[in-house]
Structure 1
């Protein structure tokens, strides 16, 4: 009897090992982000530049489960260090046509692409590429709901505890859609607690509805409007509680790899606790501290293929009666054995001028 049980377990183990696949991926992401904000009361001008190198290995079984581990190495051009920052990515993933679940340390860009810079400013996307927590989503690209948790800081005698809890979703039918993005950022004390310091929260919810049209290799457009609601509190003081409300409008268009994305905010000034907490409490663009703000992105896709994507942006920021400028260049290259690649490359009509 024991011998039969042993043989049965051995057969299960062998079949499990046989079902495993070993996969790898190597990625390189370059970013150049130059801002000219001298006339702004809220943000200083700066140039952000960096190169991320990200090798990763994965063990996959049953086509849905995987354990992934790798490193993200950041090199900042002009700095003396060989490597300026090291992040470790390691996470479990379950992926089916309708369900996605991740737990561990994983790329934010792969799961929170529907959040704009009202929630995460450019410097966060450039220098903090990983989430550390869990993400769960049900649905498809046009109809989905997700919930997530991101532990951004662990309490120590010198560091504060802080984390995100977020929800977002989208419902579409034909050209019509409604979506929302939200999070609660909790900023707590050190451990042991530092006298005179306490707990603060920053909650944001953006909800919009409108029309969206997409045609493969053709025109893409979006027009939507809605509200941006906030809740900002410093628990140490009863009068340090703010509930900003504002109107939001979005208008996007793209044709042949040339496009524009425009976002308008009009309403109550936000980030009312910025003088006390600054970037410790607020992760979105500081331009929301004004009563009105328009971001107008203009971009061109220089390369669009299975292996490489390159894009140049010229962004305009209308705030405090001024027009501020931003130039961005991003290049992402990757190679892997996850799935067969046919070397597909999109050639936009404007590219033929240079051939």
Structure 2
């Protein structure tokens, strides 16, 4: 739907909702600038490259009854240095943003196209790589979540992201995501993250794959001058290529995550020991013809988890902090990757700005002690 039609639809909703109490106009803009230099020449399971991009997302919406919000916007992405013959486009990509949100202190429900940042679950890099988080930053579908206000850190969420439509050019793809956590007052917690990805076929390519990833885990958050978060869990990835050999593969392993932070300075280490969690990457479908299974788009996680050396270690050291009432987020650091074949480094700098403001456009509320059409109460 063109942006002009989306804005016309929002204007119509605003006019139709003129009789609602506590109605407010939302105006906002998000900005992200990310530099990501990957020096992976010594690694076998990832590719060296430099990614440098900026994204601007202006949005406008209406909020009513303090719980409902309807928003439309446009997301404009520019990849620095990109050149597409015969002419260089003004923007590398332009996509819509449009969603309805219902939110209370305990419950949130989203429908439409909304930011991935609305997910509360702790999905490791085995689920989503840095590139996926930044360049596939929107979910198209639904999100539902319950948060306990009596026990902080306790929640459960379920989302569906429809990533592709069946056609001659694209596959039908959808992902179901779920995560939950139960936290104790002493800082111990138990939780899980789950992804079920249905990677179906197109009119020209009938390959269908089921790709699951499950991460149950136990952890402990505490403070001993520094803030510590220590977590251990299982990564299990049942998957099968139904159109290839219809054989279930059950790779799994264990992961230990340790994060130490204070004043915005952060050290984080993620150690994975186990099998190749992406066995269909580059899989030979037919030994006689040498045809390979088309796995592009099948895995959203870091390709380091395709290691056949049974080890992958990621160490992040840097600065991560928010300023000005959480409107500005600065992240800068060095990342060290070891995949059993060599050491690779990654330098990351990201700056994010999030600005939103509500303007009262609904009927005036009566002053305290007054009622519409009546004098003061005695």
TM norm structure 2? 0.81
Matched, 1:288 2:305: yes
CA distance in 2 between partners of 1:116 and 1:81 (Å): 35
Give the Cα–Cα distance (whole angstroms) in 1 for the partners of residues 71 and 223 of structure 2. Answer: 33
* 1:272 and 2:279 matched: yes
Shift of 1:15: 7.5
Q: 5+ unaligned residues in a row in structure 1: which ranges?
A: 1-12, 340-355
> In structure 1, what is the Cα distance between the partners aligned to 2:69 and 2:127?
29
Within 1, Cα distance between the matches of 2:321 and 2:107? 33
Shift of 1:158: 2.0
Structure 2: gaps spanning 5 or more residues: 1-15, 83-87, 283-292, 360-378
2:170 to 159, 174, 184: 159
Matched residue count:
322
2:188 to 169, 176, 181: 176
User: Does residue 330 in structure 1 map to residue 346 in structure 2?
Assistant: no
Does the alignment pair 1:246 with 2:258? no
> Given the alignment of the two structures, is residue 143 of structure 1 paired with residue 147 of structure 2, yes or no?
no
Distance 1:261 1:179 in 2: 19
Runs of 4+ with >4 A deviation = none
Can you list the C-alpha shifts for 1:35-67, whole angstroms capped at 9, x where unaligned? 011122221101111111011112111100110
Task: Compare 52-61 and 274-283 and name the one that shifted more.
Answer: 274-283
Could you tell me how far 1:168 is from its partner in structure 2? 0.6
**1:185 aligns to what?**
197
- Tell me which of 91, 110, 113 is aligned to 1:105: 113
Residues 139 and 303 (structure 1), Cα distance of their counterparts in 2 relative to 1, 3 Å cut? closer
Q: Residues 112 and 69 of structure 1: is their aligned pair in 2 closer, same or farther, counting only changes over 3 Å? A: same
CA distance in 1, matches of 2:321, 2:306: 34
User: 2:40–2:344: 8 Å Cα contact kept in structure 1?
Assistant: yes
Deviation at 1:26, TM superposition (A): 1.1
Residue 61 of structure 2 corresponds to 58
Q: 1:181-216 CA deviation, whole Å, 9 max, x = no partner?
A: 1111111111xx436x3310110001110211269x
Instruction: Give the drift of 1:241.
Output: 2.2
Query: 1:268 and 1:252 mapped to 2: Cα distance?
Result: 24
SS of residue paired to 1:81: coil
Q: Summarize the alignment of residues 35-74 of structure 1 with structure 2, pairs less than 5 Å apart.
A: 35-74=38-77
Aligned: 1:133 with 2:141? yes
Q: Would the aligned equivalents of 1:227 and 1:246 in 2 still touch at CA under 8 Å? A: yes
On the 8 A contact 1:35/1:327 being kept in 2, the answer is yes
The aligned residue for residue 242 of structure 2 is: 235
CA distance in 2, matches of 1:14, 1:137: 27
Q: Does 1:209 align with 2:229?
A: no
CA distance in 1, matches of 2:38, 2:295: 19
Query: Greater RCO between the two (CA within 8 Å, min separation 6)?
Result: 2
Secondary structure, counterpart of 1:177 in structure 2: strand
Name whichever of 200-209 and 18-27 sits farther off: 18-27
Alignment of 1:9-48 (within 5 A): 16-48=19-51
Matched, 1:310 2:330: yes
Deviates more, 1:16-25 or 1:313-322: 16-25
The answer (yes or no) to whether the contact 1:219–1:256 under 8 Å persists in 2 is no
**C-alpha distance 301-283 of structure 1, shift in aligned 2 (>3 A):** closer
On the 8 A contact 2:156/2:181 being kept in 1, the answer is: yes
Give 3-state SS (helix, strand or coil) of 1:124's partner: helix
Q: Is the 8 A contact 1:201 1:281 kept in 2?
A: no
Name the SS of the counterpart of 2:304 in structure 1: helix
1:259 maps onto 2:279 in alignment: no
CA RMSD of aligned residues (A): 2.0
Distance 1:18 1:109 in 2: 29
* Cα distance in 2 for residues equivalent to 1:101 and 1:337: 21
SS at 2:344 equivalent: strand
Could you tell me which residue of structure 1 aligns to residue 230 of structure 2?
A: 223
